[in-house]
Chains A and B, each alone.
Chain A
Amino acid sequence: MVVRGMARAFAYPRLELTRCSLLRRLVKHRAFQFMLILPNLAVFVLVLVAAFLGTPVGNRNFAIIFVWIVWWAALIILLIPLAGRIWCAMCPIPAPGEWLQRLAIVTRRPGRPFTLGLSWPRALRNIWLQNGTFLAVALFSALILTRPLATGIVLALFIGLALLLSLLFERRVFCRYVCPVGGFIGLYAMVAPLELRVKDPQVCVTHKEKDCLRGNAEGYPCPWMAYPGNLWRNIDCGLCTECLKACPKENVGIFLRPFGQDLLLARAPGWKGRSLDEAYKAFIMLSCALIYSAVYIGPWGFLKEWANLSDPAGFALYATGFLGVNLIGLPGVFLIAVALARWIARAGIPLRRLFVELAYALVPLGLTGWIAFTLSFVLVNISYAIPLLSDPLGRGWDLLGTASHPWTPYIPELVPLLQLPVLWLGLVVSIGLAFRIAQQNLGDAAKARRALLPIASFMTLIVLLFQRLYLG
């Protein structure tokens, strides 16, 4: 079952899960994605009803607890690290737009889609817009994460925007280029040990019809506008399985693989290589994990007040600091570390190139930073979900008899013991990845080792900062 080294791009062991006939039949079924989306759509509707009509008290409202604690924890601790973009496959937000575009929910309807079908502007075919939308949401997180109405408005805006874009543009441009959540899921999905890929790229080269791109009676053309024959990284694939359905050569599968393979990829056919927009996504995510840890867990109550918009001048200061750290502060310090690395290694590679390349080494550290941050509140607050099963809107119901279940923090004393290994694991993996990337760019191991010193120091400093915030 293990397929080794099919082509240069798959020079790692892979286990094809879709060789299991039951799983293959399931994912090839046209209702597969719908079956994933439907339960989430139901939860999403409940979230919107609770957000707009339920109690404004955050910890008594389904929208706040189930989105920002239950869903978030499941996403960041389980779904992304283990299954990459699997959430994108089951996300209900783009579904109404896509169904409208196709004028069908499950079936493959032939003919023109219901959309103006505009092409997404070339200048925006990157994740800069997603970086911007994420920063915009993250800046107001103290409001959005605690006020049901704010959560409802943001989610309603997402679904409205996704619907509008699907009517104007071809396929899923919202998911691919706009969604603030999809942006970071894509980045961190590159760590995951699950991938949808072609089995043999050579088959795609010789197959002229390109059903995966054009669609056929079995499947729609790739909604993510990817060509599976040149699909090397999880960031570009929403796991919708349309290509798997459409491929007449049965050349697409879902594979298990070692963690983080996409981050090791230096070049591949049809891929322009590591880019500044994705590098910045890595900085933004790492900065936000640090800032959130400081604001929500740190001892500085005034920061929380500022972030909460309780004082306009304070919020202006917070916003300046927040954007400054995200866009200039952390990338700036990293740039200094990279310049030092370049000088120590006497490397001829342009500074900007090395800066972008090495920024990808921050991805594992960023992900573990987010997992550690999430651990800080999920075990303490998850019990809020129990009464909400009986009273999702905070209207005094008791459907399942759990409405008066008290708030119960679970093993709070063990949280730091979980956070520290996670952070240090991220550090070790990131340093290892930085070495591999340095080696790719500098040519030999000795230079890479020398270049590693300032980069590893930067990463260690970040982990020590997290540690200081979590342990006090």
Chain B
Amino acid sequence: MGAMKGWEWLARGLVLSVLVGLPLSLWAADRVWNGSARWWIAQIPESGGWQPPTLEVQAGEEIRLRVTSADVVHGLSIPGLGISVTVEPGKVREIRLRPERPGRYRAICTVVCSPRHGEMIAELVVRPPGGGPIPEITAAPDGAFLFQTYCAACHGPQGEGKIGPPLNAAGRVPQMDEATLRAIIRQGRPGTAMPAWGDRLSSEEIEALIRFLRELSQEPSRP
């Protein structure tokens, strides 16, 4: 009977270890592997888009940004920080960055992931070290980077056309005036997959994009 009591206490200890100790061990393992890492989980807009929609960090702080996809292949691009990576479902991609300039940086998806792909937008807010207002970023936008970020998924990396029409010399851009291009970029093309970018790109960004499209459409077509 005494031996059985010993077994009973051992069993209780083991059950407690499993019910409490195991979850605690998993938590501890996660602390070791992920520590202070910040997470961005991509899922199609129909399921909620980027989670969380906004990440806040301090300027000058070194960040381990871990990005994963909960559904399909996505791409993460933060044009203002020169970041562009592919995010595969269930795989964790780590990006190390130290944003020095305070501001609001737009993060978008660069892979056409759903019919509402254009809504895959999040924001990385870099706060000034001592607090205070977050300044607007005033650097001149880079049209080539914007094209790769927003347009290349549908129109091809060289503008050669994919699910969207070509935007190189073979396409209709050379025949379009700037007002038409601006209107298409701002309002999209109703009835097609071309989304309206007016509420996501600033006027300066749209102008930079138009300048880049002009250059692209004057170059001889590349295979």
What is A's interface to B at a CB cutoff of 8 Å? 30-31, 34, 38, 41-42, 45-46, 49, 55-57, 59-61, 99, 104-108, 392-399
Q: Say yes or no for B91: interface residue by CB 8 A criterion.
A: yes
In contact, A57 and B29 (Cβ under 8 angstroms) = no
Could you mark each residue 64-82 of chain B with 1 if its beta carbon is under 8 Å from any beta carbon of chain A, else 0? Answer: 0010111100000000000
Q: What residues of A have a CB within 8 angstroms of the CB of B43 in the complex?
A: 56
Q: Closest CB-CB distance, A56 to chain B, in whole Å? A: 5
Question: How far, in whole Å, are A107 and B69 apart by their CA atoms in the complex?
Answer: 48
Partner of A57, one of B4, B33, B34, B70: B70
Q: What residues of A have a CB within 8 angstroms of the CB of B92 in the complex?
A: 394-396
In contact, A106 and B4 (Cβ under 8 angstroms) = yes
In contact, A60 and B89 (Cβ under 8 angstroms) = yes
Contact A46-B22, Cβ < 8 Å, known A31-B7, A60-B90, A105-B12: yes
The 10 closest A-B pairs by CB, nearest first: A60-B90, A396-B92, A57-B90, A105-B11, A397-B33, A56-B70, A106-B11, A107-B8, A106-B7, A57-B89
Q: What residues of A have a CB within 8 angstroms of the CB of B37 in the complex?
A: 396
Q: What residues of A have a CB within 8 angstroms of the CB of B83 in the complex?
A: none
Q: Say yes or no for B18: interface residue by CB 8 A criterion.
A: yes
In the complex, residue of chain A having the shortest beta-carbon distance to the beta carbon of B66: A396
Q: Closest CB-CB distance, A36 to chain B, in whole Å? A: 12
Q: Say yes or no for B30: interface residue by CB 8 A criterion.
A: yes
Q: Closest CB-CB distance, B125 to chain A, in whole Å? A: 24
If over half of A's interface residues share one DSSP class (helix, strand or loop), that class is named, otherwise mixed; here it is loop
Name, among B11, B22, B29, the residue most crowded by chain A CB atoms within 10 Å (CB to CB).
B11
In the complex, residue of chain B having the shortest beta-carbon distance to the beta carbon of A53: B26
Question: How far, in whole Å, are A399 and B30 apart by their CA atoms in the complex?
Answer: 10
In contact, B19 and A396 (Cβ under 8 angstroms) = no
Beyond A57-B69, A106-B7, A396-B92, list 4 extra A-B contacts (CB 8 Å).
A38-B14, A60-B89, A105-B11, A397-B30
In the complex, residue of chain B having the shortest beta-carbon distance to the beta carbon of A37: B15
In contact, A57 and B71 (Cβ under 8 angstroms) = yes
In contact, B89 and A106 (Cβ under 8 angstroms) = no
Q: What residues of B have a CB within 8 angstroms of the CB of A60 in the complex?
A: 89-91
In contact, A59 and B4 (Cβ under 8 angstroms) = no
Question: How far, in whole Å, are A398 and B26 apart by their CA atoms in the complex?
Answer: 13
Partner of A107, one of B4, B23, B29: B4
In contact, A49 and B26 (Cβ under 8 angstroms) = yes
In contact, A393 and B30 (Cβ under 8 angstroms) = yes
If over half of B's interface residues share one DSSP class (helix, strand or loop), that class is named, otherwise mixed; here it is helix
In the complex, residue of chain B having the shortest beta-carbon distance to the beta carbon of A39: B18
In contact, A106 and B8 (Cβ under 8 angstroms) = yes
Q: Say yes or no for B96: interface residue by CB 8 A criterion.
A: no
Question: How far, in whole Å, are A393 and B8 apart by their CA atoms in the complex?
Answer: 32
Question: How far, in whole Å, are A106 and B15 apart by their CA atoms in the complex?
Answer: 11
Could you mark each residue 15-41 of chain B with 1 if its beta carbon is under 8 Å from any beta carbon of chain A, else 0? Answer: 100110011001001100110010000
Question: How far, in whole Å, are A198 and B4 apart by their CA atoms in the complex?
Answer: 26
Q: What residues of B have a CB within 8 angstroms of the CB of A392 in the complex?
A: 26
In contact, A396 and B34 (Cβ under 8 angstroms) = yes
Could you mark each residue 170-211 of chain B with 1 if its beta carbon is under 8 Å from any beta carbon of chain A, else 0? Answer: 000000000000000000000000000000000000000000
Q: Say yes or no for B94: interface residue by CB 8 A criterion.
A: yes
In the complex, residue of chain B having the shortest beta-carbon distance to the beta carbon of A40: B18
In contact, A393 and B66 (Cβ under 8 angstroms) = no
Question: How far, in whole Å, are A105 and B19 apart by their CA atoms in the complex?
Answer: 14
Contact A41-B30, Cβ < 8 Å, known A49-B23, A60-B91, A107-B8: no
Q: Say yes or no for B5: interface residue by CB 8 A criterion.
A: yes
Could you mark each residue 125-162 of chain B with 1 if its beta carbon is under 8 Å from any beta carbon of chain A, else 0? Answer: 00000000000000000000000000000000000000
Q: What residues of A have a CB within 8 angstroms of the CB of B18 in the complex?
A: 38, 41-42, 45
Q: What residues of B have a CB within 8 angstroms of the CB of A59 in the complex?
A: 90
In the complex, residue of chain B having the shortest beta-carbon distance to the beta carbon of A95: B15
Q: Closest CB-CB distance, B10 to chain A, in whole Å? A: 8
Q: Closest CB-CB distance, B98 to chain A, in whole Å? A: 20
Question: How far, in whole Å, are A65 and B37 apart by their CA atoms in the complex?
Answer: 26
In the complex, residue of chain A having the shortest beta-carbon distance to the beta carbon of B22: A45
Contact A42-B12, Cβ < 8 Å, known A55-B70, A57-B89, A393-B30: no
In contact, B23 and A396 (Cβ under 8 angstroms) = no
In contact, B26 and A393 (Cβ under 8 angstroms) = yes
In contact, A396 and B94 (Cβ under 8 angstroms) = yes
Q: What residues of A have a CB within 8 angstroms of the CB of B69 in the complex?
A: 57
In contact, B7 and A395 (Cβ under 8 angstroms) = no
Question: How far, in whole Å, are A99 and B43 apart by their CA atoms in the complex?
Answer: 42
Q: What residues of B have a CB within 8 angstroms of the CB of A105 in the complex?
A: 8, 11-12, 15
Q: What residues of B have a CB within 8 angstroms of the CB of A397 in the complex?
A: 29-30, 33
In contact, A394 and B90 (Cβ under 8 angstroms) = yes
Of residues 87 to 131 in B, which have CB atoms within 8 Å of A's CB atoms?
A: 89-92, 94
In contact, B33 and A396 (Cβ under 8 angstroms) = yes
Q: Closest CB-CB distance, B2 to chain A, in whole Å? A: 11
